[in-house]
Amino acid sequence: MIENQNQPREYDAVLGGQNPPPVGAAVLGGIPGIKTRLASPIVEVKIAALSEAPKYGEAGLDLIIGALQNESMQVKLAAYSLLKDRDDLKLKPHFHQDYLPTFDFDVITVDAEGKENSRRKSFARFFPEDLGKGVVLEMVYIPGGTFMMGSPATESGRDDERPQHQVTVPAFYAGKYPITQAQWQAVMGNNPSDDKGEKRPVETVGWYHAVEYCGKLSQQTGKKYRLLSEAEWEYACRAGTTTQFHFGETITPDLVNYDGNLPYANVPKGLYRRETTDVGSFPPNNFGVYDMHGNVMEWCSDRWHENYNDAPTDGSSWETGTDDCRVQRGGSWYHSAVYCGSHLRDWCWADDGWWNRGFRVAVASVSPSS
């Protein structure tokens, strides 16, 4: 049998004394060689080593899983890309909770004057969806749980936010940001937005447009993307908080893109930007989700109802009724601070696409290949 001269042998070594070895060089083979390259300070060397790991079975799989804990996001994403479509029994039980890459962020809260009163480090898990041409959609893991939806009778609020009721939301994934113009362009091939910018949220899209985007995204990725239900939206926005805003008792223009001339609580008037901002320009909530308050209103899947009488309590979309009004949440750059509250609801005709209206997407918490 003639040996393939281009195939590294099990114990080949790099000649010439280069340290670290060049990317793709034939270093010590097998699992020992992969371990050696994974210890390299060069990201490209680590990624090249990971690409060889699957051919070594369980031992290689363990190394890929271990690489998800790497400090480099590039290495984490490379490892995840090698794991996400596998059906190994070893991966299925805890894939999403244990093996997803993570990102770190600060969680900030403020008092009634808008002054910061706490800041702590947190992290969230996510998976990246490659939309092509360098455009990535990041989907954040939202753990399931139970919360009180709407406004309590003891607080100022509107009738459509009541009665406050308990809802149990299963785990799911939500877009880290509202869908951006680059993400819309990658799927739909156009950009209808008024305030142009690849990293700004897409706007001037109606509910039907948002649903169409979810359908095309689902076809492109093989996953079942959809709009968040109204209950999922409020649960994801609150992220375990019970105050008007996930930041605490109020918001400021340093935390949210809204009309700073119309503040809430004891916050003085502030900046009114009069346009959208790049997604992620402001701090996230405890789940690691950004721009839930302000920037653009976000379409939800539900039909509009005048109050919460007979609303679902399982986190599902409320689809009874026959009119074509759909729910919107979160306020926008155009709205007052109070309008951006976690509990506040609004509606619009499904075919209306205004300049302050966008959306984010969700996908169920299921197996990696779904």
Sketch the domain layout of the chain as residue ranges: 1-83, 104-364
20-25 long-range contacts (CB < 8 A, ≥24 apart) are 20/45, 21/45, 23/48, 24/48
Per-residue pLDDT of the chain (370 residues; tens, 9 = 90+): 444 444 444 333 343 334 555 554 444 678 998 999 999 888 888 988 999 999 998 888 889 888 877 767 678 778 877 887 676 656 655 555 566 788 999 999 999 999 999 999 999 999 899 999 999 999 999 999 999 999 988 877 688 999 999 999 999 999 999 999 999 999 999 999 999 999 999 999 999 999 999 999 999 998 999 999 999 999 999 999 999 999 999 999 999 999 999 999 999 999 999 999 999 999 999 999 999 999 999 999 999 999 999 999 999 999 998 878 999 999 999 999 999 999 999 999 999 888 899 999 999 864 333 3
DSSP E strands: which ranges in the chain?
102-110, 116-132, 135-142, 145-149, 165-169, 172-175, 226-227, 297-303, 325-329, 345-349, 357-358, 361-364
Assess contact for 285 and 245: CB atoms under 8 A.
Answer: no
Confidence at residue 90, expressed as pLDDT on a 0 to 100 scale = 63
Laid out side by side, the sheet with 226-227 consists of 102-110, 116-132, 135-142, 172-175, 361-364, 226-227
- What is the Cα Rg of the chain in Å? 23
Cα 65 to Cα 132: distance, rounded to the nearest angstrom: 25
Alpha carbon of 360 to those of 6, 190, 304, 357: distances in Å?
Answer: 48, 17, 18, 11
Cα 88 to Cα 75: distance, rounded to the nearest angstrom: 21
> Which SS3 state, helix, strand or coil, does residue 256 take?
coil
Assess contact for 370 and 364: CB atoms under 8 A.
Answer: yes
Residue found under tokens 């936010």: 161
- Quote the tokens at residue 315: 């986190």
Cα 175 to Cα 157: distance, rounded to the nearest angstrom: 28
Confidence at residue 291, expressed as pLDDT on a 0 to 100 scale = 98
Confidence at residue 316, expressed as pLDDT on a 0 to 100 scale = 98
Cα 12 to Cα 115: distance, rounded to the nearest angstrom: 61
- Quote the tokens at residue 183: 């993400």
Alpha carbon of 167 to those of 186, 187, 287, 363: distances in Å?
Answer: 35, 33, 18, 19
Assess contact for 177 and 362: CB atoms under 8 A.
Answer: no
Q: Is 3.90.1580.10 the CATH number for 104-364?
A: yes
Confidence at residue 96, expressed as pLDDT on a 0 to 100 scale = 52
Sign for the pseudo-dihedral over CA of 304, 365, 211, 140 = positive
Confidence at residue 67, expressed as pLDDT on a 0 to 100 scale = 86
Assess contact for 365 and 172: CB atoms under 8 A.
Answer: yes
Confidence at residue 66, expressed as pLDDT on a 0 to 100 scale = 84
- Burial class for 365, CB neighbours closer than 10 Å (0-12, 13-18, 19+): middle
